Structure 1
């Protein structure tokens, strides 16, 4: 394999974008146990081995007959040895339990059992070596079999979806989302943000994302729901939108706390911009909305009055797009706005349940939780509004939340705030932009420096978010987009974290009441409610280990040697009492797997608020690649 084919940065942005989405799709197919992936070692190439992705027809069991080319959906050369199932029984290859995009070479082969005429074969040496590897016992590959590089995740997705009998409409919807993801990812590669510096303000870090979620199959999907037009990448600046104003009769709204008082600075700034006062009719409530949402408001809420564009305000969008800063009006506050745009697999509106819960949880629950305020600051939601339409799927399009904005005051406290997602990003423009930000900014140029940095970071992460789980039965969704790391602005030492967004909380109400005396005030059927404490532990495991720490440990080069996970285990053993249920749930040697969130299964089931889980390998007990496996 040529050197240029082994480095992502050397690929054309279009090819690189195709691989980014295809790798995430294959990762989900294998890790969520939708398809079986078998690992076979391969010699003489940069790849350590290959993942043979079997079709759905043979993935549900280990057949006695030999596998042939029709049983193979795709073949992926692997740069590193993945995690294997502890109970794998197929002697034709090791069953893979977790396949991460970073395990893969930037190349995916689709398999054509009957060959293809008049096609120039790429990567001849490698494809020949792969077919030779697949000639051992248990394999029966015809000499006519051809391996060709995959040109789109849609091809693999549609072969899989059709094979399991997925509804044609859903199959097409998800195909379109993959196409969107590739399109927007290509634009991101072609127009990379500048490499942020430690001295860069917090908003620059929020807007420095090149790829985003490391394993979500639709990680870059941007789907604008009708009546919005389908904006092409670059035609609308999602990071610098405008704030618009509407007014709705008070009787048509559900308002939590003093929403109107919090919006007064916005209205004043809008009036100043327009050179005339905002006139609000008696009995109406002014609501700030994202400019993209005006079309949805006019389409769904006939009683709403939309103020002219001259009353608009400039916004700075954070990573989530719908959470925005309004620097002309707010210093200590920010807005979370409902936006009818699908990012990844969720429409970024605000449900009535979330609008109801957030301010109440902030006021009633946050102050009594077992959390060290010196280490973790909670971005409280202070007030909200949502339409009273009886159909929540419509009501969610007219909603807003006022939230604390600690990042705006961080420099006054001598802190630099960095959204944790940005720490693992690379591919930026500028000097050393191809180096992960955490390595570049903190000068982690040796393994020992990286271990020390990880040790401090993971220890403080646990000290921030484990106490509420251990004592109160409350797990924050502290994945890296919801967490901001607080660093000393002079020494760069980690001081703690800020946690924001309550939509992915997991709360066991009985434990919360028993330990704090507070009865959780929520709307019936809310997705945050846990039936038992194991449910709380499951949410925490996925967000902290599978999502947050796994990617960080991998980019620090501390995954395959097991040293990063050794650091994690040491701190967990220090902080979790051995007689607590959480110790057995996570640290018991018998816990080979843990239930974790399945993005692709959820999308196929039309779910995003409620989670589907499948057994994933327990990364906490991972000890690195055995030399015999490599």
Structure 2
């Protein structure tokens, strides 16, 4: 049995965060054979009959479970770093685990796992210096979601923007002028954004806020689009990456922006579908009407997007205005958990 060190590097911690989620997912989706040979230990085999059946993975668990076949597991039930191979050697790398035990795992999926580890390691090396308190703004609590999604193995994937962690954390929003004939707007977009956006070059154009890493995508898909020079706004990203908070609350009081961004995280691309652009401002008043008084609905009140019929184009060109919880509940502490 391997000696389990008491002090861990941030890379080891990042690998365990991803690997524990991966292993739990493989068990829960029945992609491996798992058996509890004692109340606190689990043995895993690949489903692939061509793989050496002596190749096993051993887990130690925090809580006792029934002995026998195991069909579900929470990643937080795995004792930290107690993932061992058939030789009793620690095996924390999720890509190696996928290679050995996940039949059919593609190169793309392995790249997503590796990206998740890299981003998680970066976060652990750049933790906020101040722990949030009851008096902290909501974004500070949001940024303290250290490991992201609690069960998804691609919980911190950020393909294709590995190495852009600082930009993703505090992005600039750029502004692009697009002919009005190529866009649709819903809700009170122009009223809300009237004093926030730069002036449009002509009445026949509208201004689209764009994440700085999405600018080239927009310009390549709309030849008539023009980047407004020397004009940008600083934002802070929520953990969801594409929803951003104005660094200066006075910039856009009461609202946040949800921006289309061609980034893959938790297994999905964070662009914005035409259906979201259309439906969000329509569903919000309905949700507010039917919600009981004990619930506060954070609405999506206005939107702008491409009118292209090709969704491979339109999903890259969109922005939705979201209500800010702190503005709706000014006397409350908003804590994201």
Same fold (TM over 0.5): yes
The Cα of 1:173 is off from its aligned counterpart by 0.4
- SS state of the match for residue 107, structure 1? strand
Residue number among 383, 386, 389 corresponding to 2:308 in the alignment: 389
Show structure 1 runs of 5+ residues with no match.
42-47, 59-67, 85-92, 112-145, 225-229, 271-277, 421-630
- Counterpart of 1:417? 334
2:44 corresponds to 1:109: no
Any conservation in 1 of the 2:200–2:207 contact (CA below 8 Å)? no
The Cα of 1:180 is off from its aligned counterpart by 0.5
2:227 corresponds to 1:306: yes
How far apart are the structure 1 equivalents of 2:221 and 2:250?
Answer: 29
- Counterpart of 1:175? 110
Which protein has the bigger helix share? 1
Any conservation in 2 of the 1:202–1:418 contact (CA below 8 Å)? yes
Describe how 1:57-76 pairs up with structure 2 within 5 A: 57=48, 70-76=53-59
2:182 corresponds to 1:252: yes
2:6 corresponds to 1:23: no
- Counterpart of 2:42? 51
How far apart are the structure 2 equivalents of 1:190 and 1:417?
Answer: 26
Show structure 2 runs of 5+ residues with no match.
none
How far apart are the structure 1 equivalents of 2:2 and 2:27?
Answer: 27
Which protein has the bigger strand share? 2
Residue number among 359, 366, 379 corresponding to 2:287 in the alignment: 366
Residue number among 160, 167, 171 corresponding to 2:101 in the alignment: 160
Describe how 1:124-523 pairs up with structure 2 within 5 A: 146-161=87-102, 163=103, 166=104, 171-193=106-128, 194-224=130-160, 230-232=161-163, 234=165, 236-267=166-197, 270=198, 278-308=199-229, 310-326=230-246, 327-363=249-285, 365-369=286-290, 371-373=291-293, 375-408=294-327, 410=329, 412=330, 414-420=331-337
Deviations 1:567-609 (A, max 9, x none): xxxxxxxxxxxxxxxxxxxxxxxxxxxxxxxxxxxxxxxxxxx
How far apart are the structure 2 equivalents of 1:367 and 1:222?
Answer: 33
Deviations 1:491-541 (A, max 9, x none): xxxxxxxxxxxxxxxxxxxxxxxxxxxxxxxxxxxxxxxxxxxxxxxxxxx
How far apart are the structure 2 equivalents of 1:328 and 1:239?
Answer: 20
The Cα of 1:36 is off from its aligned counterpart by 2.3
- SS state of the match for residue 280, structure 1? coil
How far apart are the structure 1 equivalents of 2:162 and 2:95?
Answer: 21
Higher relative contact order (CA 8 A, sep 6+): 2
How far apart are the structure 2 equivalents of 1:324 and 1:342?
Answer: 17
CA shift in 2, pair 1:279/1:399, >3 Å: closer
How far apart are the structure 2 equivalents of 1:4 and 1:188?
Answer: 24
Using structure 2 for the length normalisation, give the TM-score.
0.91
How far apart are the structure 2 equivalents of 1:233 and 1:298?
Answer: 21
- SS state of the match for residue 159, structure 2? strand
Any conservation in 2 of the 1:51–1:75 contact (CA below 8 Å)? yes
Any conservation in 2 of the 1:325–1:335 contact (CA below 8 Å)? yes
Any conservation in 1 of the 2:45–2:101 contact (CA below 8 Å)? no
- SS state of the match for residue 53, structure 1? strand
Using structure 1 for the length normalisation, give the TM-score.
0.50
Any conservation in 2 of the 1:240–1:316 contact (CA below 8 Å)? yes
The Cα of 1:71 is off from its aligned counterpart by 4.9
RMSD: 2.2
Larger Rg: 1
The Cα of 1:409 is off from its aligned counterpart by 5.2
- SS state of the match for residue 145, structure 2? coil
Describe how 1:469-618 pairs up with structure 2 within 5 A: none
How far apart are the structure 1 equivalents of 2:125 and 2:302?
Answer: 40
The Cα of 1:232 is off from its aligned counterpart by 1.1
The Cα of 1:237 is off from its aligned counterpart by 3.2
- Counterpart of 1:95? 69
How far apart are the structure 1 equivalents of 2:85 and 2:321?
Answer: 49
- SS state of the match for residue 77, structure 1? strand
Q: How many pairs were matched up?
A: 332
- SS state of the match for residue 313, structure 2? helix
Any conservation in 1 of the 2:21–2:75 contact (CA below 8 Å)? yes
Any conservation in 2 of the 1:340–1:347 contact (CA below 8 Å)? yes
- Counterpart of 1:14? 11
- SS state of the match for residue 415, structure 1? coil
Any conservation in 1 of the 2:119–2:162 contact (CA below 8 Å)? no
How far apart are the structure 1 equivalents of 2:226 and 2:120?
Answer: 37
